[in-house]
């Protein structure tokens, strides 16, 4: 006879309420797992989907994702001439917050060489890739703009010619692909007043070092900010080439920093996502601990409620295993049912979350194992109390 | 041969100045089918005697034999205690102590299943027992939905489940009104006669004394035989 199940049936309402409560806590743990995996997936999406072997960035910089990196646009030509390099392309990326169709939106602009260069959108789910030098864009469907729609950026309107799915930056914001020149224009655009102010400041600076106004006007183009800059050069190597050797060559001769795709991946995971990993890990531990304490207390209360029945069972000659099983099974039923509830809830709702949730089966399995062990631990308090109960407690009124 | 034979049983709690002798050289013989009452004031040692005979408490000294088999001798327990209780002792309590989350039928069947009887067989025999105790119409009721008398019948069924030679009853009628108490006493008598179980009941219930075959009076840990008249003369035991 399964005493635990019989007792659960008697306290069904209390059990269901606890399963729902604890299940919601477990659901938060699973969501945090999903947020973490989603963050990693988002954070490295661009790296994994760029189909490049090396990332060349400004000297002593961890760019282009972890910190700003600025390279002259023609740096790609020097990189392309490096032995072992099959193809090199300029690449630009920056996050913006602009109004699109009356709504402020955050997204990341990717500028690339649209005529066969690296760094373009990988898989387009609708429409086509950018085929003209200007005023076309490919956006992720998360941006909410339909194919053929027009988006005003800077001084121009851009037509959406292609849509991607799941193309996001490390913050989960959609990617917007533009031709390199368009991306540079949007990035460095200034209105006339800002340009005038910058020009006046530069002229004053040149005059301050002993130049006449005429000389200053002539020297101005040489010191003006150059908008023909990029953030990185993407490199594809010839088959059989050792990436470390090529990276070393570029570092030594061109004075740039070079990362392999694997290094770039590590850089993002160990840098940008490290703190989030720690915070999410801490929250997961706290939530699991709280859940286990709740289960332990409920099991303890249920044990105390039936302490006289336990004493009677002992008096009737029940073995310790019968008593232990009664409590242990209830704890595990509660834990497993709460986890099942959490799992179903998250499976049904995760697609509607504003952040990308990635539910990895391995992560879910590990969480279940931890929670299952927690359920075992939670029953200890009740088990100790039950085993300490003397059978003589059954006697008397 | 006696079902139960107790010789020189003593139980001492504490030591030195705090020493309390709860049982003092108790001798007791109970035959199969005998209905025995232990009466006496509160704290006289009645429940301690039941606890010691059922080996819930370890006696300090003496000998306990069940059906001629030595189960306890001078500080040494010679059997597996829980198995001994499953096979040889049934308990009936003042508060019935049915397992609250089991039906009447399951309460009786559980006692058998703890003793190794299969699920189907135990349920069949439990139903027969409830039928014998005229409570089978309530077999599927939960204890909370049974009256006090009905609960006590189920408790008697549970005590009888493994056909033990000994049944210990702790105040079996104390929580029942006179009518129901009388019915329970009649039932215990019938069980003792027909099932050949010896029943030893601790009771304060002077209304029921006449129903017992043998009366023992306990005072300050000493046990002495008495009769209904003397018991009445002692006044209602407290």
What pLDDT is attached to residue A348?
92
Q: What is the mean pLDDT of residues A46-68?
A: 83
Taking only the tens place, the pLDDT of each residue in A326-367 is 999 988 888 899 999 999 999 999 888 877 888 889 989 998
Q: What is the mean pLDDT of residues A83-107?
A: 88
Q: Check: CB of residue A165 under 8 Å from CB of residue A140.
A: yes
Where does the pLDDT of residue A269 fall: very low under 50, low under 70, confident under 90, or very high at 90 and above?
confident
What pLDDT is attached to residue B132?
83
| Beta carbons of B93 and A394 less than 8 Å apart | yes
Q: Which residues of chain B have pLDDT under 50?
A: 236-238
What pLDDT is attached to residue A190?
63
CA distance A187 to A198: 16
pLDDT at A374 over 90: no
Where does the pLDDT of residue A86 fall: very low under 50, low under 70, confident under 90, or very high at 90 and above?
very high
| Beta carbons of B85 and A392 less than 8 Å apart | no
Q: Does B93 touch chain A (CB under 8 A)?
A: yes
What pLDDT is attached to residue A227?
61
Question: In this structure, what token pair is assigned to residue A56?
Answer: 């060349």
Q: What is the mean pLDDT of residues A245-269?
A: 87
CA distance B130 to B105: 8
* pTM for this predicted structure: 0.71
- Name the burial class of residue A40, with classes exposed (0-12), middle (13-18) and buried (19+) by CB atoms within 10 angstroms of its CB: buried
B6 vs A64, which has greater pLDDT? B6
Number of helices (H) and strands (E), helices first, in chain A?
A: 13, 12
What is the separation of C-alpha A121 from the centre of its chain, rounded to a whole number of angstroms? 19
Question: How many residue pairs from chains A and B have C-beta atoms closer than 8 A?
Answer: 80
pLDDT at A197 over 90: no
Q: Check: CB of residue B37 under 8 Å from CB of residue B203.
A: yes
CA distance B23 to B8: 9
Angstrom distances, CA of residue A80 to CA of A172, A237, A243, A246, B91: 32, 10, 14, 11, 94
CA distance B54 to B48: 10
* Residue that is written with structure tokens 């005072």 in the block: B219
Angstrom distances, CA of residue B148 to CA of B178, B183, B219: 12, 12, 30
Range of A46-50, A124-128, A291-295, B147-151 with top mean pLDDT: A124-128
A40 vs B10, which has greater pLDDT? B10
Q: Does B79 touch chain A (CB under 8 A)?
A: no
Please tell me what DSSP assigns to residue A345. Answer: H
Where does the pLDDT of residue A68 fall: very low under 50, low under 70, confident under 90, or very high at 90 and above?
confident
What are the chain B neighbours of A314 within 8 Å (beta carbons)? 82
- What DSSP letter does each residue of B44-69 carry, written as one string? SSHHHHHHHHTTSS--SEEEEEETTE
In angstroms and rounded to an integer, the radius of gyration of the C-alpha atoms of chain B is 18
Q: What is the mean pLDDT of residues A32-59?
A: 86
* Residue that is written with structure tokens 């009628």 in the block: B173
Cβ-proximal residues to A353 (8 Å cutoff; 6+ apart), any chain: A31, A34
Cβ-proximal residues to B60 (8 Å cutoff; 6+ apart), any chain: B10, B11, B12, B23, B75
Q: Check: CB of residue A251 under 8 Å from CB of residue A257.
A: yes
Interface of A with B (CB under 8 A): 1, 3, 6-7, 9-11, 306, 308-309, 312-319, 322, 390-392, 394-397
């Amino acid at each position: 006879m399964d005493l635990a199940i019989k007792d659960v049936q008697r306290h069904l309402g209390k059990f269901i309420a606890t399963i729902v409560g604890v299940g919601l806590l477990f659901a938060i743990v699973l969501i945090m797992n999903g947020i973490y995996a989603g963050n990693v997936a988002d954070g490295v999406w661009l790296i994994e989907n760029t189909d490049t072997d090396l990332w060349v960035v400004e000297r002593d910089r961890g760019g282009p994702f972890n910190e700003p990196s600025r390279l002259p646009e023609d740096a790609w030509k020097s990189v392309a001439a490096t032995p072992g390099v099959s193809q090199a392309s300029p690449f630009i990326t920056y996050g913006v917050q602009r109004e699109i169709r009356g709504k402020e939106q955050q997204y990341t602009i990717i500028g690339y060489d649209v005529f066969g260069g690296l760094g373009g959108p990988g898989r387009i789910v609708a429409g086509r890739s950018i085929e003209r030098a200007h005023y076309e864009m490919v956006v992720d469907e998360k941006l909410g703009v339909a194919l053929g729609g027009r988006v005003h950026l800077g001084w121009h309107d851009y037509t959406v010619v292609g849509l991607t799915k799941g193309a996001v930056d490390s913050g989960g914001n959609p990617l917007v692909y533009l031709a390199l020149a368009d991306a540079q224009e949007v990035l460095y655009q200034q209105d006339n007043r800002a340009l005038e102010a910058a020009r006046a400041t530069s002229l004053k600076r040149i005059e301050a070092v002993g130049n006449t106004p005429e000389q200053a006007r002539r020297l101005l183009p040489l010191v003006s900010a150059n908008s023909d800059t990029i953030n990185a050069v993407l490199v594809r190597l010839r088959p059989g080439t050792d990436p470390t050797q090529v990276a070393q060559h570029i570092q030594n001769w061109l004075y740039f920093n070079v990362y392999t795709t694997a290094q770039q991946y590590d850089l993002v995971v160990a840098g940008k996502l490290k703190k989030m990993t720690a915070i999410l890990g801490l929250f997961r531990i706290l939530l699991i601990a709280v859940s286990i304490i709740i289960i332990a207390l409920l099991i303890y209360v249920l044990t105390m409620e039936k302490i006289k029945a336990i004493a009677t069972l002992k008096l009737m000659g029940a073995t310790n295993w019968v008593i232990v099983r009664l409590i242990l099974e209830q704890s595990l039923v509660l834990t497993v049912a709460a986890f099942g509830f959490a799992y179903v809830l998250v499976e049904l709702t995760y697609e509607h979350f504003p952040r990308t949730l990635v539910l990895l089966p391995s992560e879910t399995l590990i969480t279940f194992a931890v929670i299952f062990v927690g359920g075992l631990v939670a029953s200890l308090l009740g088990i100790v109390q039950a085993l300490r109960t003397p059978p003589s407690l059954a006697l008397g009124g | 041969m006696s079902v139960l034979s107790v010789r020189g049983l003593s139980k001492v709690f504490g030591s030195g100045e705090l020493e309390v002798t709860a049982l003092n050289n108790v001798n007791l013989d109970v035959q199969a089918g005998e209905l025995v009452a232990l009466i006496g004031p509160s704290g006289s040692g009645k429940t301690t005697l039941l606890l010691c005979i059922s080996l819930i408490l370890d006696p300090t000294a003496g000998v306990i034999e069940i059906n001629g088999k030595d189960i306890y001798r001078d500080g040494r327990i010679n059997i597996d205690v829980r198995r001994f209780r499953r096979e040889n002792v049934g308990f009936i309590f003042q508060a019935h102590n049915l397992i609250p989350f089991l039906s009447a039928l399951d309460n009786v069947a559980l006692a058998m299943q703890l003793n190794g009887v299969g699920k189907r067989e135990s349920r069949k025999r439990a139903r027969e027992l409830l039928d014998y105790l005229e409570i089978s119409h309530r077999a599927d009721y939960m204890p909370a939905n049974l009256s006090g008398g009905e609960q006590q019948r189920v408790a008697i069924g549970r005590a009888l489940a493994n056909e033990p030679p000994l049944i210990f009853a702790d105040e079996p009628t104390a929580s029942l009104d006179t009518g129901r108490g009388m019915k329970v006493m009649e039932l215990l008598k019938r069980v003792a006669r027909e099932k050949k179980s010896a029943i030893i009941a601790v009771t304060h219930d002077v209304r029921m004394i006449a129903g017992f075959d043998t009366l023992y009076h306990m005072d300050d840990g000493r046990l002495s035989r008495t009769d209904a008249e003397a018991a009445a003369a002692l006044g209602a035991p407290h």
